[in-house]
Amino acid sequence: MTSLFTKTVTILALQLALNSAATAQKCETSIKMLYDKLHLDSQANQYQYETAFFSCFPNDFASFNNLFGWDDKKGKPAPLYHNSEQYVNLFFACQHIPVQRKVDKIVAICKHGTWDADAINFLQQNTHNFFLKHPANFLQALRHQKPQDAESFWSFYFDYESDHHRAKDLQAVNALVSKDDIAMRRIIKQAYQARVKAWTVH
């Protein structure tokens, strides 16, 4: 039988997750509670808890990194660093979130992002896979961005060391972007070339 305490904690987690003004600490607590609820309680309302989890997930790269990444200045992990892979995977796996809504948030998080190991890498790899499944949704979202913001998304998309894999990923992306979409193809090319140059300097 579910205890009164558990019910109370769950209600508070939902309220915090759905509150757009929630602080980073509150979101940290809510994400952990909601993740546990979805994985440990077979009777949980999947729609309700996935919606709450998705709402509490960071909305930009800086917030994502502050919650899941590594703090280079302090030399220590962010609050949810050690289990970041499971939280990132759940975000992408949420089945009750409309694809376009999820893509819009993915684009918002990835804009102005830079590669790093662990959580950032999990975000990037999941984004690659999700783009290949839903290219039209991504292109729709990116067309509503300022050119520099759209380029920053693609810059993050191609921001990793392997020239071989980057070239293969560019080929895969170009195969899904219409040749008539000249503006987007130009933005993608610019972002790709900038990452090639940046990693050559490394």
Tokens of 193: 């070339």
**Is residue 169 within 8 Å of 155, Cβ to Cβ?**
no
DSSP-assigned beta bridge partners for residue 46? none
Q: Are residues 89 and 26 in the same domain?
A: no
Domain boundary among 13, 33, 56: 56
Give the per-residue pLDDT at 172: 98
Q: Are residues 39 and 76 in the same domain?
A: no
More confident site: 109 or 74: 109
Q: Are residues 17 and 101 in the same domain?
A: no
Binned at pLDDT 50, 70 and 90, residue 13 comes out as low
Q: What is the mean pLDDT of residues 78-89?
A: 96
Q: Which domain holds residue 37?
A: 1-56
Quick check: helix, strand or coil at residue 71? Answer: strand
More confident site: 78 or 19: 78
pTM of the model: 0.87
**Is residue 28 within 8 Å of 39, Cβ to Cβ?**
no
Of 37-41, 137-141, 177-181, the least confident: 37-41
Q: What mean pLDDT is reported for the chain?
A: 89
Q: Are residues 66 and 45 in the same domain?
A: no
- In this predicted structure, the answer to whether residue 183 has a pLDDT above a threshold of 60 is yes
Taking every pair of Cα atoms in the chain, the longest distance, rounded to a whole number of angstroms, is: 60
Q: Are residues 52 and 78 in the same domain?
A: no
Based on the structure, what is the number of domains in the chain?
2
Tell me whether strands 70-71 and 76-77 are parallel, antiparallel or unpaired. Answer: antiparallel
Give the residue from 76, 111, 77, 93 showing the smallest Cα distance to 35.
93
Q: Are residues 178 and 88 in the same domain?
A: yes
Using the CB atoms, write b or e for 165-182: b if 16+ within 10 Å.
ebeebbeebeeebeeeee
